Amino acid sequence: MASLNLASALVPVTGAASGIGLAICRQLRLEGGTPLLLDFDRQRLDAALGEVFGTSVAEAQRFGYLVDVRDSKAVDACLAQIRQDHGLITHAVANAGRSLAAHILDMTDEQWHGVMDVNLHGMLYFCRAAARQLAEAKRGSLVTMASIAGLMAKESRVGYAASKAAVVNMTRALALDLGPFGVRVNAVAPGVIDTPLQTNPSYQEPVKQRAALRRVGNADEIASVVLFLLSDMSSYMTGETLVVDGGLTARYL
């Protein structure tokens, strides 16, 4: 029977200092794997390292990398440094993202490019850099973070919806490119999750009324699905997007 089998996993995770990214790293550590925390915020990164590894920040520093995913050269340099520090990665999680609520009549160029630079371009830069190592190793699993916004639409979410829809199809295309190397690529599409990006009660309450489970999700529930996709439990899955939304998108009205 297949198992998670993540005890020897070496897994860079972007957006790892809070929310879903931090939950993924905590669960990987509990499974005996080695999460590598990538984030652009030094203060939050240091706090996350101490939490995940249960040691002083100084002792955990070698597992943390300060990087802005919007900078392709910085991402390439970060993955090269990871290889030098730890060897070839075995898995990767492209989690970093940002939200945007802006009606099309009011949305600025800066807002559009801001969300695309992280959710689409940053996603590509990290996946490309990680894929080079996974393809060389001829094994592994890459997980991207999509959203139900990439599958369905909502008012004032033009930029965010477009960016996440791109992630869904990018995931399929990556799966086709990397399948011949034995590398799997899948996405997770969360619904409304109680994270720093979605704490507004006025946003959560309507979700609680519409979702089949009558509640929002939590970061650990998304992290568990990510670990499933990283693991041998999903060994014949690739190019898929798993919706984890408590039944929010099960309704048509």
Contact 39, 14 (CB under 8 A): yes
Query: Which residue out of 65, 160, 203, 236 is catalytically annotated?
Result: 160
- Are β-strands 64-66 and 184-190 bridged in parallel, bridged antiparallel, or unpaired? unpaired
128 vs 185: CA distance, rounded Å: 12
Contact 216, 201 (CB under 8 A): no
- Under 8 Å CB-to-CB from 223, ≥6 apart: which residues? 20, 23, 24, 26, 27
Measured in degrees and rounded to the nearest 5, phi and psi for residue 62 equal -70, -5
CA angle centred on 22, ends 44 and 156, rounded to 5°: 90
DSSP category for residue 215: S
- Catalytic residue status for 160: yes
Using DSSP, state whether 17 is helix, strand or coil: coil
Contact 234, 5 (CB under 8 A): no
Amino acid at 2: A
Active site residues: 160
